[in-house]
Amino acid sequence: MEYTISDIAKLMGVSTYTLRYYDKEGLFPNVKRVNGIRVFEDKDFEWLRVLNCLRNINMPIKKMKEYVELCQQGDVSLKDRLKMIEEQEESINAQIKALEYYKQEIDFKKKYYEEAIKAGSESAVRSWSCKDATLELDKLPK
């Protein structure tokens, strides 16, 4: 089956602007064109899924382009592609760790407000201090 850029945008949940930008940046090296119009096929969905994943994990366009270029090289670039994916995994793990750290503060504030609502007044929990939170005092996060 063939799909227009609008079809793909709807199916993938991205804007046509994003897809056109990706095309301009060379991220669709294998998408065919008919009379200058991009025509996506079923076989393109796997590649679109990969690009969508890379975008959603905040891989910079420059790195995405590098990844596309490596993919175009075939098997000789497998180790380089693995290295890129591992670097991105490290970045994701650091983001997860940071989010888990900040979730502690959110959990504290949630309990604070739940208890204040249960008591009918914030004065019931006002004695709770930042010391009761799980984040370290007077230390800015990295």
Q: What CATH code is carried by the domain that includes residue 69?
A: 1.10.1660.10
Instruction: State whether 81 and 118 are in the same domain.
Output: no
pLDDT tens digits along 58-117? 899 999 999 999 999 999 999 999 999 999 999 999 999 999 988 988 888 898 899 899
- Burial pattern 80-101, b for ≥16 Cβ within 10 A else e, equals eeeebeeebeeeeeeeeeeeee
The confidence band for 130, taking pLDDT boundaries of 50, 70 and 90, is low
Q: Based on the domain organization, do 62 and 126 belong to the same domain?
A: no
Q: Bridge-partner residues for 38, per DSSP? A: 33
Partner residues linked to 39 by β-bridges: 32
Are 33 and 70 found together in one domain?
A: yes
Each residue's pLDDT tens digit, 26-73: 999 888 888 888 899 988 888 888 998 998 888 999 999 999 999 999
Residue 141 dihedral angles phi and psi, to the nearest 5°: -65, 155
Shared domain for 103 and 126, answered yes or no, is yes
Domain count, the chain: 2
Residue-number span of the structural domain to which 126 is assigned: 97-132
Q: How many CA atoms lie within 13 A of 139 on its CB side?
A: 10
